[in-house]
Amino acid sequence: MIEVSNMSKYYADYPAVLDVSFSIKAGETVGLLGPNGAGKSTTMKVLTGFTPPTDGNVSIGGFDIIKNSFEARKLLGYLPENVPLYLDMTVTEYLVFMAKIRGMNESVNKRVNEVIEITSLGDYKDTLIGKLSKGYRQRTGISQAIIHNPKVLILDEPTIGIDPVQVVETRNLIKSLEGEHTLILSSHILPEVTSICKRILVIHEGKIVADDTPDNLSKRLQSTNVCEIEVSGSNKLDIIKLFRKESYIIDIRSKPSTNSSYNTFIIETSSNESVEQKIAKLVVENSLGLRKLIPLSLSLEEIFLQLTSD
């Protein structure tokens, strides 16, 4: 349903999204997860034809978002980060207006009522949008995104800035839309994505650093051993090079050290090997002073942090 190949988006010479490729099947619920500034909104703006990619191709339902923009956009419902609401319209007036913009002529009132029912806006249907709380404005935003029953629904940080009770209600609302639409949701909140989505694309500094189910992301963490070491001597890059030569080391990353005379690293090793001894031996043989060597167990939250830290 959605094909993104080698897509990059530059703002002047700054690559907000860099060479990203993924595809999403009809009916999938996918979370785009990443810290602020990772490139989530930019990716969504390109997917929705709001802004063109600098490089690469994006197609929605087989229609190229640039060459067949109109056909592609007909298939999309979009809740942007800042929802363009008209504060002096009532909820119903706004949804009728949006339905007409979407080219609907028949059964507009019936569909508006249906959507108001789905998003539980019944008590506020004649209220001016300017008088609604942030949570109800967000529901109005979601209502306009689904008014034309789009095949693809793209929601950019749908719960940002709303109170905790409404966050839960909004998440439930989004969950209830699952299956009806191919759904992409962006968030910087891990539990939000894991509670709604069956697949997670982790984006960091404009690149996809993981693409998996929440379960597999957890398993991936459990199927590897991770330990933290703190050593003195040599420089960071030399130490990293030294460890990378070892076949049982999957990855090594430096992290800020609490003591400036030491370098701290997180080392990921293949499982079923007792590697702590090997690491200790390697450190001693290379005359690095070992200060700390501790095995770590990672939660999904920590995995996310690992994937998105340098």
The least CB distance from residue 12 to ligand ADP, in Å, is 7
From candidates 4, 16, 75, 91, binder to ligand ADP by CB under 6 A: 16
| 181 vs 239: CA distance, rounded Å | 49
Segment near ligand ADP (CB under 6 A), from 11-19, 93-101, 109-117, 189-197?
11-19
Any contact of residue 11 with ligand ADP (CB under 6 A)?
A: yes
Which residue reads 């597999």 in tokens?
A: 216
Q: For the chain, where are the alpha helices, taking DSSP H only? A: 40-47, 69-74, 91-101, 108-118, 134-146, 164-177, 190-196, 214-222, 236-244, 275-285, 300-307
* Residue with smaller CB distance to ligand ADP, 14 or 70: 14
Q: Is 161 in the site for ligand ADP (CB under 6 A)?
A: no
Euclidean distance between CA atoms 53 and 255, whole angstroms? 34
139 within 8 A of 119, measured Cβ to Cβ: yes
- The correct pick among 38, 145, 208, 275 for binding ligand ADP (CB under 6 A) is 38
214 contacts ligand ADP (rule: CB under 6 A): no
Q: Which is nearer to ligand ADP, 33 or 183 (CB)?
A: 33
Contacts with ligand ADP, 172-211, as mask; x by CB under 6 A? ----------------------------------------
Q: Does 31 bind ligand ADP (CB under 6 A)?
A: no
* DSSP letters spanning 110-176: HHHHHHHHHTT-GGGTTSBGGGS-HHHHHHHHHHHHHTT--SEEEEESTTTT--HHHHHHHHHHHHH
**Of 40-48, 143-151, 235-243, 276-284, which part binds ligand ADP (CB under 6 A)?**
40-48
- Kindly list the distances between the CA atom of residue 78 and the CA atoms of 2, 202, 269, in Å, as whole numbers in the listed order: 14, 20, 41
Binders of ligand ADP among residues 250 to 289 (CB under 6 A) are none
Q: Which of 4, 24, 28, 40 binds ligand ADP (CB under 6 A)?
A: 40
Is 37 a residue that touches ligand ADP (CB under 6 A)? yes
- What are the φ/ψ torsions at residue 75 (nearest 5 degrees)? -85, -5
Which residues make up the interface to ligand ADP (CB under 6 A)?
11, 14, 16, 34, 36-42
